[in-house]
Amino acid sequence: MEELNREKFLELCDNFPNLDNIQFISESNLDPSRKTYLYNGLIIKVHEKKEDLTQYLRQNDLKQEYELLLRCNGIDGIPRGVSYCSNDQYDFLLVSFLDGVQLVNLKLSFVQFIKLMKDLSKILFNISRKGISHNDIVPENVLVTSDFNVSLIDFDQATKTKPFIAILRQFLGINIGESKLNYSIITIIKEFIRKKFPKAIYRLKKFLGQKPVQIEKLLVLDEAADPKLKSLLKAWKLAQKSNASSPGIPIAYYTLEYEGVTFPGERPWIRRWNELKNISDYSGKKIIELGCNMGLLSVSLLKDAGAVQCLGVDHDKTILESAEIISGVFNVNPTFRQVNFDSKKNWEDELLSFNADIIFALNVLNWITDKERFLRFLSHFNEVIFEGHDLPEEEKNRFKKLGFSTIEEIGFSERERIILRCRK
């Protein structure tokens, strides 16, 4: 089918979507006008022209992506640009199909990972020689076959540059040149190390003199202890087991004082709550807490700030069990949902249906691969309370681009991270 001539392809485009043997594969989470299909062993990327919700997020339209792929034709591990065409309704890009599972869905041994990085490096070196910087090297864009062959897909963020600049960008993550560098191979390596060797990272930070997480033992309660204290102890044990705070290190995220008993964690909750409780008027509001961890913010908003309904969202099942127990101790009833913000599934619609007045996104964006998708989701709300990792001006510019007209600097958390209140 790759011998499809130009005339036949134009006929295919004119008859779209009424084609035999065409199979729908996916739709963009951010833009329903962008879809991908499988057709007789080839991939068709389609953009419906009537709307373009995400072009501002992309370096290239489909024609430009096709031209970049043509420069890379003949390189193993890169989809071959077969053809491009456009009509009144659609843009079409036809590329070769590459088999494999996304790297993000694989659990690899250290030896397997080293082999994959070696093969991916070869691909990156070859496209760098062609003067191409991919700019979006994330696990979702790396495919791995059952016999561990590697491919690199999705060139909608790629740009042309000088070969040595492409090498610096893709291998060292140095953001030089005119175009934006989103992610390099360093991103994938860091994420693998963080997940695979959390204890080693902890020891290295301690060796280098960085302040490590202080691990305190949980107290032991006797049989006659208050049932609420027993429940909180159970919640803190679950939090220590979870990977929602410091993976591989047995510590809860928050420290809480309750009835004279200390339940230890990384961050003092009372200080955290004092930072957040007066930022906005929460009375009578419906609120979503993204990355809720132990759910203490949702609990406090309901118990002490007059919120009428709270939805806590986290990716870790164990930490949500902890949050459920804590909410029971304080006699409030937030709703909790398990969501992976980097999942290809459409999690946005369920959260949007909650119709929240305010949304909290504290210390979340830094840990998400698909940051643009997450920010796009935040843009649906009229008020966002946000804690970031980057410089204040950079964080504020993000929200200006999302359409927020009033952006207040609330201050810095005890970890020296900027807290913003963003409103439309």
| DSSP 3-state percent helix, strand, coil across the chain (nearest 5) | 35, 25, 40
- What pLDDT is stored for residue 106 in this prediction? 85
**Once rounded to an integer, what is the mean pLDDT over residues 382-397?**
89
Among 3, 43, 1, which residue's Cα sits nearest to residue 23? 43
Q: Is 289 a residue whose pLDDT tops 50?
A: yes
246 pLDDT band, cuts 50/70/90, is low
- Characterise 65 by phi-psi region: left (phi > 0), alpha (psi -120 to 50), beta (else): alpha
The torsion of the CA quartet 248, 252, 254, 258, rounded to 10 degrees, works out to -170
pLDDT band at 2 (very low <50, low <70, confident <90, very high): very low
Q: Where are the alpha helices (DSSP H) in 17-84?
A: 62-72
Task: Write down the mean pLDDT value for the chain.
Answer: 87
Q: Is the pLDDT of residue 286 over 80?
A: yes
| β strands within 126-200, DSSP E | 132-133, 142-144, 150-152, 159-160
- The least confident of 89-93, 178-182, 275-279, 368-372 is 178-182
| DSSP reduced 3-state for 27 | strand
| Among 223-237, 353-367, 404-418, the range of highest mean pLDDT | 353-367
For position 146, what pLDDT does the model report?
Answer: 87
Distance CA 76, CA 80 (A): 9
pLDDT at 267 over 90: no
What is the CB-side half-sphere exposure of residue 319 using CA atoms within 13 A? 26
Q: Which residue would you say has higher pLDDT here, 195 or 101?
A: 101
Phi then psi for 2, rounded to 5 degrees? -70, -10
Q: What is the pLDDT of residues 34-72, one digit of tens each?
A: 889 888 888 999 998 876 666 666 788 899 999 999 999
Location of structure tokens 């309904």:
309
Q: Report the pLDDT value the prediction gives residue 334, as an integer from 0 to 100.
A: 96
- The pLDDT assigned to 26 comes to 83
Section 202-215 average pLDDT:
55
Separation between Cα atoms, residue 300 and residue 303, nearest integer Å: 5
Least confident span in 64-78, 210-224, 398-412: 210-224
CA dihedral 72, 73, 76, 77 (to 10 degrees): 70
* Residue 169 reports pLDDT greater than 90: yes
Segment 87-110 mean pLDDT: 88
> Tokens representing 59?
């370096």
Share of the chain above pLDDT 90, in %: 51
Mean pLDDT score, 212-238: 80
Residue bearing the bigger pLDDT, 339 or 214: 339
User: What is the pairing mode between strands 101-102 and 142-144?
Assistant: antiparallel
pTM above 0.75, yes or no: no
Residue 411 β-bridge partners: 419
pLDDT 10s digits, 294-313: 999 999 999 999 999 999 99
What pLDDT, in 10s, does the model give residues 101-136? 988 788 888 899 999 999 999 999 999 999 999 998
- Residue 208 is predicted with a pLDDT of 57
Q: φ and ψ at 189, to 5 degrees?
A: -65, -45
* 29: confidence class by pLDDT, cuts 50, 70, 90: low
pLDDT band at 75 (very low <50, low <70, confident <90, very high): very high
256 versus 205: which is more confidently predicted? Answer: 256
Tens digits of residue pLDDT in 14-24: 888 777 788 88
Residue type (1 letter), 28: S
Domains detected in the chain: 6-96 (3.30.200.20), 101-195 (1.10.510.10), 279-423 (3.40.50.150)
Q: How far, in Å, CA of 115 to CA of 142, rounded?
A: 13
